[in-house]
Amino acid sequence: MLRRLLPIAAVLVAPAWITAQSAPDAHVSPIADALEELGEDVRVFDQHLVTLANPFMEGRLPGTRGMEIAKEYCEHYLKKAGLEPAFETENGAPSWRQPFPLGGTLQVSEATLDIKLGGETVRLEAGSQFNVLGLGGSGSIENAPITFIGYGIQSGPDGFVGWSDDANVEGHVLVAFRFEPMDNEGKSLWSERGPWSRRSQWRSKLDDLAKLHPAAVIFVNPPGCADPRSQELIEAGKGGRRAVDFPVLMVDTNVAEKLCRKVGGASLMNARVHADRRTSVKRLNGTVSIQAAIERKALIAENVGGIIPGRGALANEVVVMGAHLDHLGMGEFGSRSGPGELHPGADDNASGSAAVLMLADKLKQAYDAMPADAEARTLLFLLFSGEESGLNGSAYYVEHPIRPLEEHALMCNFDMIGRIKDGRLSVSGTDSARGMKEWLQPLFEASPLDIVQPKSIMAASDHAVFVRKQIPVLFAIIAEFHGDYHTPRDVSSKINRVGSAQTVQLFAEILKKAATWPERFEFQRAQPRERQTAEEDEQPNRTGARVRFGIAPGTYDEDATGVAVADVGEGTSAEDAGIKAGDRLVTWNGEKIGDVRAWMGMLMQHKPGDVVQVGVERDGKVLELAVTLKSR
């Protein structure tokens, strides 16, 4: 059927004058014809997906107007399907929303930048000529020396050295270019995949620069850069999560060009050409004074949920169908390609959210058609927020459930079901309840999809917090990962709508069976095995890491560094080294860990057998543990 749609797709992208000649019938409607041929499920899924992944939703970042609209959209369709609100307000009124604290947003309350050269002081204008970024903290600096330090990268490929170990710039204001060394076309000299390597990322640079103990860092876009972001001045308070305690600023390129000639005696391009190839530490003329004050405004995120009440003796038990609604916005954290571009999150996770809305409608119709004396569990349909920053919405839910956790029979989770390739869908957790795999098998066999059943359960999505509470789970995700994950390229045009609709139909049958299964769901944890082959464990790997550390990270804390350990897997590298639930990973081979995303970047650099020294904070003390990394 998909082959028959290819000519239609070609017509859709053809210039108007071609379609006018080749399709004289003005009433030809290829999209309408395709959707009608593929069926109602594909049409409805397409509508939900395109809406939720539309750029108007601003990448569904919590705290944005776009995310608020996305929540309103989901609430509308849960209500339209006939569900009841899942939550209550503090006053006891029914509510579709479950609010919870999610760190906060940054506001710059004070920003001054004065550059003194001889007897002249130049004050730059905040908002147009410079901005204080959220990557750093507050600070007051008076007449600090200025030093240019190239790209702010200590070392790179082909023997590149940004500065020597004896560089003495403590207390200086360091000026660094954005991105990384470039060729004559303004493109990266180092990147093997994507426009830039990981060394170009803000946090990586600031980790390097922090070792020099600067008073502040000022970033400037390099001239002649092919990246369209090189033309922008990042907004005040933006740029990403705080990576260092000292102030971090950005100066407009045109302003920097004028100042460069005054304080450095050369053009920005001359400075860039020098920095592209060799060590670039140069003391500049003049001094800098900075006043920067950043305040945090509390951010309240919300889960969205509706229920279908159960019936009879099973009514008190709950089956959860969930997916996370949030994504990365402009990629200020979690992006694999860097901040500054809209991340639509079509596969991650507009696809899963669209499917949950469809299932809510399908299961409400199924419940309405049941005999009056039928027994069925309560169904809860949940759209989580704060997943991308650390499973925050789901973690809050399991601490504040609508009914006691012991009454939660099963949790099903969708996270990236939109890019199914060769009909392969991964469904893990089939062994998490005794006997569940057996009654699932006929449903899997009846599906047109090829169901891959991994032996382990990925810990990087909302079902993980339910597993920690010993609640059985089923986790559906694409079996083959794609390079568009956590990049601006995750767009709706690339979604396999047919495979997604087939996934919806499969889980409609699963939910009906789970809701009416007469026996109690008995949780069981998978037993560790001596050896696991790639064929035995086809669990998708979103991180690209070759090793598995073996922890489930805790919820994200905006004001804390490091990685909280919520759980430790049996027989893993972490357990072997003595790491325990409740610990916090704070250093990695002597380098401070910023957050879970930064830590994952560190982990990706290793191969099986590597031994790393991990600083673990426990009971107010930091322990140094040697961890031997095992293969995934």
pLDDT band at 521 (very low <50, low <70, confident <90, very high): very high
Predicted pLDDT at 9: 35
Of 310, 307, 351, 311, which is closest to residue 327 (Cα–Cα)?
351
Torsional sign, CA 192, 206, 275, 182: positive
pLDDT over threshold 80, residue 534? no
Domain presence at residue 156: yes
Do 357 and 424 belong together in one domain? yes
Domain presence at residue 535: no
- The Cα–Cα gap between 447 and 506 comes to 6
- The Cα–Cα gap between 305 and 74 comes to 9
pLDDT band at 632 (very low <50, low <70, confident <90, very high): low
- The Cα–Cα gap between 348 and 335 comes to 12
Do 471 and 396 belong together in one domain? yes
CA angle 65, 105, 50 (to 5 degrees): 30
- Determine the 3-state secondary structure of 58 from DSSP: helix
pLDDT over threshold 90, residue 124? yes
Do 276 and 382 belong together in one domain? no
The secondary structure of residue 347, as a DSSP letter, is I
- Rounded to a whole number of angstroms, the distance between the first and last alpha carbons of the chain is 37
* DSSP per-residue string spanning 549-573: --EEE----TT--SEEEEEE-TTSH
Type of residue numbered 466: F
The 10s digit of each residue's pLDDT in 458-468 is 778 999 999 99
Domain presence at residue 532: no
Average pLDDT, the chain: 87
Predicted pLDDT at 600: 72
Q: Which of 296, 329, 351 corresponds to the end of one domain? A: 296
Mean pLDDT of 293-308: 93
Predicted pLDDT at 20: 42
The structural domain count of the chain equals 4
Other beta carbons within 10 angstroms of residue 161's beta carbon come to: 14
- Please give the residue that has the higher pLDDT: either 556 or 339: 339
Share of the chain above pLDDT 70, in %: 90
The 10s digit of each residue's pLDDT in 266-291 is 789 999 998 998 778 889 888 999 99
Predicted pLDDT at 631: 80
- Determine the 3-state secondary structure of 554 from DSSP: coil
Domain presence at residue 528: no
Torsional sign, CA 18, 24, 27, 29: negative
Do 98 and 2 belong together in one domain? no
pTM above 0.85, yes or no: no
Q: Which two tokens stand for residue 381?
A: 């349909």
pLDDT over threshold 60, residue 537? no
pLDDT over threshold 90, residue 540? no
The counts of H helices and E strands in the chain are: 15, 27
- Please give the residue that has the higher pLDDT: either 610 or 514: 514
Do 184 and 237 belong together in one domain? yes
* DSSP per-residue string spanning 21-40: HH---TT--HHHHHHHHH-H
- The Cα–Cα gap between 603 and 563 comes to 13
Domain presence at residue 530: no
Q: Are strands 424-428 and 318-324 parallel, antiparallel or unpaired?
A: unpaired
The 10s digit of each residue's pLDDT in 345-392 is 999 999 999 999 999 999 999 999 999 999 999 999 999 999 998 899
pLDDT over threshold 70, residue 17? no
Q: What CATH number should be reported for the domain holding residue 53?
A: 3.40.630.10
Q: Which of 461, 493, 516 corresponds to the end of one domain? A: 516
Tokens 């147009």 belong to which residue? 128
Predicted pLDDT at 145: 95
- The Cα–Cα gap between 348 and 540 comes to 14
Of 477, 475, 476, 472, which is closest to residue 526 (Cα–Cα)?
472
Q: What CATH number should be reported for the domain holding residue 128?
A: 3.50.30.30
- The Cα–Cα gap between 460 and 462 comes to 7
pLDDT band at 317 (very low <50, low <70, confident <90, very high): very high
Separation in Å, CA 424 to CA 341, 348, 419, 576: 30, 17, 10, 34
Separation in Å, CA 38 to CA 478, 489, 507: 21, 25, 19
Domain presence at residue 524: no
Domain presence at residue 160: yes
Q: Which of 296, 323, 355 corresponds to the end of one domain? A: 296
Tokens 């191969």 belong to which residue? 607
Mean pLDDT of 317-328: 98
Type of residue numbered 50: V
Angle, helices 352-368/65-80, rounded to nearest 10 degrees = 20
Mean pLDDT of 90-118: 90
| Helices (H), ranges, 453-595 | 463-468, 497-516, 573-577
Enclosing domain of residue 184: 105-296
Q: Which two tokens stand for residue 26?
A: 């003005």
- Determine the 3-state secondary structure of 602 from DSSP: helix
Least confident of 86-95, 318-327, 448-457, 570-579: 570-579
pLDDT over threshold 70, residue 556? no
Do 261 and 305 belong together in one domain? no
Domain presence at residue 529: no
pLDDT over threshold 70, residue 159? yes
Mean pLDDT of 328-355: 91
Do 226 and 153 belong together in one domain? yes
Share of the chain above pLDDT 90, in %: 62
Give the chain's length.
632
CB contact burial 44-54 (16+ within 10 A = b; e otherwise): bbbebbbbbbb
Do 311 and 210 belong together in one domain? no
Q: What CATH number should be reported for the domain holding residue 612?
A: 2.30.42.10
- The Cα–Cα gap between 295 and 333 comes to 19
Torsional sign, CA 43, 49, 51, 53: negative
> 230 and 221 in contact (C-beta within 8 Å)?
yes
Q: Which two tokens stand for residue 116?
A: 């003194």
The secondary structure of residue 506, as a DSSP letter, is H
Do 209 and 288 belong together in one domain? yes
Predicted pLDDT at 26: 55
Do 130 and 109 belong together in one domain? yes
Predicted pLDDT at 13: 36
Do 264 and 176 belong together in one domain? yes
- Determine the 3-state secondary structure of 625 from DSSP: strand
Predicted pLDDT at 567: 73
- The Cα–Cα gap between 34 and 24 comes to 19
Cβ-based neighbours of 224, under 8 Å, separated by 6 or more: 182, 186, 269, 272
Do 476 and 390 belong together in one domain? yes
